[in-house]
């Protein structure tokens, strides 16, 4: 492995166009990177142009992470062997955290590359910070099952785990199913369990609210079809 092999994990704003949530380090590093693995090439190109208006996009090589087959791990090994500095970028938030990137990072680790995570926004951590729920013990569960009875069983299991361990449970949902998720949580959880719904974090219309299930039932909102994080503590 080339001793100069290096991989930067490049965070992207959670809300589109809110570049002020990025560190100056992100701006400095991306001004010179020429090799990227990205979740979506079009999104990546648009983002780079937004922070570097004079950048020559055609000078940059992109490899899109295939949603079904995963990333081109062989290409990463080739780039690292050749001594290229490589960036990994998702569509929003931080690579490898509820987003693609872990496989690439694992290969980079195995090949002795220097891994450098850049400071940037992560919806899970920001939601937990603002929720008032337990930030000492928490678990991210990704997406819950869509179909019944697996969905209700999973919710009840997580609530039991939360109560037993005093552990905040976090999960996400496809935006168009946000209201279904809320309905299922209210149906399956105890009234005393506290639920935080965090939507459009960092955007001007962001909403992060925590109430008991009983309080949510009294005044159930209609959630927008926007990215959301759900957190509860029994």
Q: Domain 123-233's class?
A: alpha beta
Query: What pTM, to 2 d.p., does this model score?
Result: 0.91
| CATH architecture type of domain 6-117 | 3-Layer(aba) Sandwich (3.40)
Q: Beginning with the edge strand found earlier in the chain, give each strand of the sheet holding 228-233 in spatial order.
A: 138-143, 168-172, 228-233, 194-199, 207-212
Per-residue model confidence as pLDDT tens for the chain (234 residues): 556 789 999 999 998 888 889 999 999 999 999 999 999 999 999 999 999 999 999 999 999 998 888 899 999 999 999 999 999 998 889 999 988 899 999 999 999 999 999 999 999 999 999 999 999 999 999 999 999 999 999 999 999 999 999 999 999 999 999 999 999 999 999 999 999 999 999 999 999 999 999 999 999 999 999 999 999 999
Strand partners, 208: 198
The residue extents of the domains of the chain are 6-117, 123-233
Closest CA to 200 of 146, 133, 127, 98: 127
How many C-alpha atoms does 66 have within 13 Å on its Cβ side?
A: 6
| Burial readout 138-162 (b: 16 or more C-beta within 10 A, e: otherwise) | bebeeebeeeeeebeebbeebbeeb
Q: What is the DSSP letter of 152?
A: H
159 in Cβ contact with 230 (< 8 Å): no
H-assigned helices in the chain: 24-30, 41-51, 73-81, 102-110, 123-131, 150-165, 178-188, 213-218
130 in Cβ contact with 114 (< 8 Å): no
Separation of alpha carbons 29 and 176, rounded Å: 35
């Amino acid at each position: 492995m080339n001793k100069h092999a290096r991989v930067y994990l490049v965070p992207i704003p959670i809300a589109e166009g809110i570049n002020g949530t990025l560190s100056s380090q992100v701006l400095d590093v991306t001004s010179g990177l020429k090799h990227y693995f990205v979740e979506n090439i079009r999104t990546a190109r648009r983002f780079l142009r937004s922070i570097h208006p004079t950048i020559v996009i055609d000078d940059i090589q992109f490899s899109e992470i295939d949603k079904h087959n995963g990333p081109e791990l062989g290409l990463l090994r080739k780039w690292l062997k050749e001594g290229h500095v490589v960036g990994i970028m998702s569509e929003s938030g931080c690579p490898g955290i509820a987003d693609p990137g872990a496989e690439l990072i694992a290969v980079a680790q195995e090949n002795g590359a220097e891994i450098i995570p850049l400071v940037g926004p992560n919806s899970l951590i920001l939601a937990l910070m603002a929720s008032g729920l337990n930030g000492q013990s928490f678990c991210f569960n990704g997406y819950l099952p869509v179909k019944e009875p697996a969905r209700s069983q999973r919710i009840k299991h997580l609530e039991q785990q939360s109560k037993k361990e005093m552990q905040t449970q976090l999960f996400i949902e496809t935006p168009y199913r946000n209201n279904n998720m809320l309905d299922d949580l209210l149906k399956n959880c105890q009234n005393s369990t506290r639920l935080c719904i965090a939507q459009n974090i960092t955007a001007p219309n962001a909403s992060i609210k925590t109430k008991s299930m009983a309080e949510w039932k009294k005044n159930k909102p209609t959630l927008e079809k926007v990215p959301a994080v759900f957190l509860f503590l029994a």
